[in-house]
Amino acid sequence: MADTLTTSPPASEAFRVEQRGIDFIPEDERWATPRDLFGMWAGASVQFEYLVYGAVLMTFGFTFGQALLLILVGNLSYLLLGLCSLQGPEAGTTAFMINRASFGPNGSRLIALFNWATQVGFEAEGLILVVFGGVALAAKAGFHAGTPLKVVLILAAAAVQAVLPFLGYATVVKVLRALVIPFIALYVILAFLTVGKANPGSIHHGADWQTMMVGLAFSITLTGLGWVESGNDFSRYLPRTASRKAVVGWVFVATAIPQAALMLLGAAVATYVQIDSADPFTSFPHAFSSWFLVPFFVVAIIQLFAINSMDLYSSGVTLQALGLPIKRWNAVLIDTVIGCGITAYAVFSAGFTNLLDDFVAAVIAWIAPWMAIFLVDWLLRRTRYVPAELQRTDRGGLYWRRGGVHWPALVAQALGTTASVLAINQTFYVGPIARVAGGGGADFSVFTGILVGGLVYLVLAGASVRKEADVQDRLLQAGGITN
């Protein structure tokens, strides 16, 4: 995973408003390295959400051994995030600008809309947990968390979380990298406090294999698969010469290892603490000594702001890719307001776990086939793009096709999404494939979505995209890198 570049965020860029958005990043502005990706992703990975995910997983009725297996296998999906971070250095732009190669400039807008909604959903999820943490701290201080306090917490949390993404990429990298060590220290203490109390044998019978498949879909989606659409938003400041092995390796180590450890810790806590599905924050004070409560909640809230900064940054550039004529930081402010509204609804009207389950289902349905299409297209065009052509939205562009839409990709997306929905098993819907499989209840949605989406695109677009790859090579030889 070694990389030969040793630069760091320029002082002139960090803590100033980033002006770049979905436009092409020239080589002389690409200061980042694969190791920078490690620091950023590690800072986002060592945080409270993954503790909650591990604890919630145990509410499915798994034994600790079953949860261990699901967590380890699920976190292997971070290899997919590594692969979906390799296009940014080549294209010099964000994920849903690169997506124009496979879907066309106009066809990509629909998929960008799905991604934007997903990112805003993840932002709201983090804000919900921040508000729960604030309520728990207020209760510790002797204040009743009524409606006025919750409203204040929601507004304050939304304002605070907007700061890092508003400033931009260099600031996000610098801050998250600095937070890695204190975050790790907190969870080492928590693990020490948990060891003597955990009861891995508290559940003896466990769940059947169908429920295991539901848990696997949950684990995969909330780890690597749930981030694949954002990878290139954060790798586009790497030079084209950056080592691909280093990119995949640093991203995987920074995400899979800490997140698997935290999910296992959350699962261990759930073996001796009853997890409140409506408000997981209220369950964790029972997991450790009272002296640790306030430091834990304070750091956990900071961590949630940290990971939300990445969601909010990514949703901002995706909103630009939809075609809105706004600056990147304007998009951050818009998404902050929308995420605030969703948070208010969830805090006052919905249980956290039910909301999380339904959200997982919605994410799987589009993101699994999209990722397959995106990666198949990248391989068909020999892992290269023409950056100048990705920025074009006129009829003469290489990626324009018919009406700005690459129909084979949309057909593959529709069929892949259908295959995913037919095989899904969530609280609000069980697909016919899920009902039939092994007596009912198994969830194959991740796998059917990836398989159908990728294969259909390969069959429908394989020949034409290979021809485009030949045209790309000629344009690149003629100097088609920049606008």
**Among 140-144, 201-205, 208-212, 280-284, where is mean pLDDT lowest?**
280-284
pLDDT at 6: 37
Highest-scoring range by mean pLDDT, 175-184, 417-426, 468-477: 468-477
Phi/psi of residue 129, nearest 5 degrees? -65, -35
- In the block, tokens 């891995």 appear at 200
How far is it, in rounded angstroms, from Cα 300 to Cα 130?
8
Q: Is residue 1 a contact partner of residue 209, using CB atoms and an 8 Å limit?
A: no
Can you tell me the mean pLDDT for 166-170?
88
pLDDT of 153 strictly over 90: no
Q: How many CB atoms lie within 10 A of CB 149?
A: 15
Tell me the average pLDDT of the chain.
87
pLDDT value at position 154? 87
As a whole number of angstroms, the distance between CA 358 and CA 396 comes to: 42
Higher pLDDT, 139 or 327: 327
Distance in angstroms (rounded) separating the CA atoms of residues 333 and 313: 10
Q: How far apart, in Å, are the Cα atoms of 111 and each of 205, 222, 335?
A: 42, 19, 17
Residue 108 reports pLDDT greater than 90? yes
The stretch 474-483 carries a mean pLDDT of: 74
Task: Output DSSP code: residue 425.
Answer: E
> Residue 190 burial by CB count (10 A; 0-12/13-18/19+): exposed, middle or buried?
buried
Q: Rounded to a whole number, what is the distance in angstroms from the first to the last CA of the chain?
A: 32
Q: Let me know: does 269 contact 57? Beta carbons within 8 Å.
A: no
> Are the C-beta atoms of residues 200 and 268 closer than 8 Å to each other?
yes
Task: Estimate to the nearest angstrom the gap between the alpha carbon of 437 and the chain centroid.
Answer: 29
Query: Has residue 428 got a pLDDT over 80?
Result: no
Q: What is the pTM of this model?
A: 0.89
pLDDT exceeds 90 at position 399: yes
Residue 322, number of CB atoms within 10 A of its CB = 17
Rounded Cα gap, residues 162 and 352, in angstroms: 22
In the chain, count H helices and then E strands.
21, 2
Within 10 angstroms of residue 2's Cβ, the number of other Cβ atoms is: 10
d(CA 29, CA 10): 10
Name which of 473, 221, 223 is nearest 359 in CA terms: 221
Q: Report d(CA 171, CA 177) in Å as an integer.
A: 10
Distance CA 96, CA 99 (A): 5
3-state secondary structure of 405: strand
> Would you call 131 helix, strand, or coil by DSSP?
helix
Q: What is the pLDDT of residues 262-273, one digit of tens each?
A: 999 999 998 988
CA-angle at 47, arms to 343 and 52, nearest 5°: 65
In the predicted structure, residue 358 carries a pLDDT above the cut 80 = no
pLDDT above 90 (res 254): yes
For residue 362, the tally of other CB atoms under 10 A from its CB is 18
426 three-state secondary structure: strand
Q: Is the pLDDT reported for residue 426 higher than 80?
A: no
Please report which confidence band the pLDDT of residue 148 belongs to, taking 50, 70 and 90 as the band edges.
Answer: confident
- Structural domains in the chain plus CATH codes: 28-363 (1.10.4160.10)
Task: Over range 301-305, report the average pLDDT.
Answer: 82
- Rounded to whole angstroms, the Cα distance separating 381 from 470 reads 8
Predicted confidence at residue 129, as pLDDT, reads: 80
> pLDDT tens across 2-18, in order?
443 334 555 447 788 88
Average pLDDT over residues 129-136: 82
Please tell me the distance from the alpha carbon of residue 52 to that of residue 357, in angstroms, as a whole number. Answer: 13
Q: In angstroms, rounded to a whole number, what is the distance separating the alpha carbons of residues 190 and 292?
A: 9
pLDDT of residue 446: 92
